[in-house]
């Protein structure tokens, strides 16, 4: 089993990076409005966010994001399962 490196960084920096990458949005009318998410942690260099209302997780990736609720491919699901243990 591979080990994942979990760390915590400045939440404002994580949000700024997610908005700049298009993972989250500064637009309040967007479904991905940053104000609707909380920063959870950073796993292996990828920031993890959780929707405050739905409790759905997002992982920031370059150039996009993975919506944990829609991941079905076995290998990626296993990777995400180990990554979300920090929540």
Task: Domain count for the chain, please give it.
Answer: 1
Rounded CA-CA distance 34/18 in Å is 8
Cα dihedral sign, 17-18-20-21: positive
Phi, psi of 58 (to 5 degrees): -125, 145
Taking a C-beta distance cutoff of 8 angstroms, is the pair 22, 64 a contact? yes
Is 73 inside a domain boundary? yes
64 in helix, strand or coil? coil
**pLDDT on residue 45:** 84
Is 68 inside a domain boundary? yes
Is 70 inside a domain boundary? yes
Q: For the whole model, what pTM was predicted? A: 0.65
Is 46 inside a domain boundary? yes
Is 35 inside a domain boundary? yes
Give the model confidence (pLDDT) of 7-50 as tens digits.
999 999 999 999 998 889 999 999 899 999 999 999 888 899 99
Phi, psi of 67 (to 5 degrees): -85, 105
Residue 73 has pLDDT above 50, yes or no: no
Rounded CA-CA distance 85/6 in Å is 10
Is 1 inside a domain boundary? no
Domain membership of residue 26 as a residue range: 6-86
Is 81 inside a domain boundary? yes
Is 30 inside a domain boundary? yes
């Amino acid at each position: 089993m591979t080990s994942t490196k979990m760390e915590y960084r400045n939440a404002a920096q994580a949000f700024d990076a997610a908005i700049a990458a298009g993972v989250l949005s500064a637009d309040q009318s967007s479904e991905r409005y940053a104000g609707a998410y909380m920063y959870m942690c950073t796993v292996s260099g990828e920031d993890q966010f959780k929707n405050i209302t739905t409790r759905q997780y997002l992982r920031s990736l370059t150039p996009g994001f993975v919506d944990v609720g829609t991941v079905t491919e076995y290998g990626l699901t296993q990777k995400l399962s180990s990554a979300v243990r920090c929540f």
